[in-house]
Amino acid sequence: MAKTKYIESPEKMWDLFCQYVQHEKNNPMYKVDYVGKDGDEKETALQVPITFEGFECYLSDLNIIQDLSHYSANTDDAYEPYRTIITRIRKNCFVQNFKGAAVGIFNANLIAKKIGLVEKVENKIEGGFDVTLNLNG
């Protein structure tokens, strides 16, 4: 007997991801500044990065599923129909984070680490020594 999946179809998973994205848009984080000579409190809404882990937490909060590792790994080929949508979701997360970092909405260093970008500087020092600095870690 086949096991029932927590998310019935790839289309349902995409729909849930779209709901997660909208949820994050509707629930920004706020930065508080104190401005002017009287130190008036000013709240600024900040866009929240979209992440695969955030999507998993959203699904958990809805009591749908705790994590998507079986869907992502296609355990026992039981999740083959979900491979395309998992890839699409991951790419959407990557692109949103990359664009946000590129235009200064998100901290570029944090996003670079999150999406696996590494900046290296290589210097040659006289005497034959090679030095490579990993600026992200």
Q: pLDDT band at residue 111, thresholds of 50, 70 and 90? A: confident
Residue 2 placed within a domain: no
Residue 110 placed within a domain: yes
Residue 1 pLDDT: 41
> Per-residue pLDDT tens for 28-84?
999 999 999 988 999 999 999 999 999 999 999 999 999 999 999 988 888 999 999
Which residues constitute the domain of residue 127? 10-134
Residue 84 placed within a domain: yes
Mean pLDDT on 4-17: 93
CB 66 within 8 A of CB 60: yes
Q: Between 114 and 57, where is the model more confident?
A: 57
d(CA 68, CA 77): 14
Residue 76 placed within a domain: yes
Percentage with pLDDT > 90 across the chain: 58
Q: pLDDT band at residue 112, thresholds of 50, 70 and 90? A: confident
- The CATH number for 16's domain is 1.10.132.80
Total domains in the chain come to: 1
pLDDT at residue 97 greater than cutoff 90: no
Residue 54 placed within a domain: yes
Mean pLDDT on 89-115: 86
d(CA 4, CA 1): 9
Residue 123 placed within a domain: yes
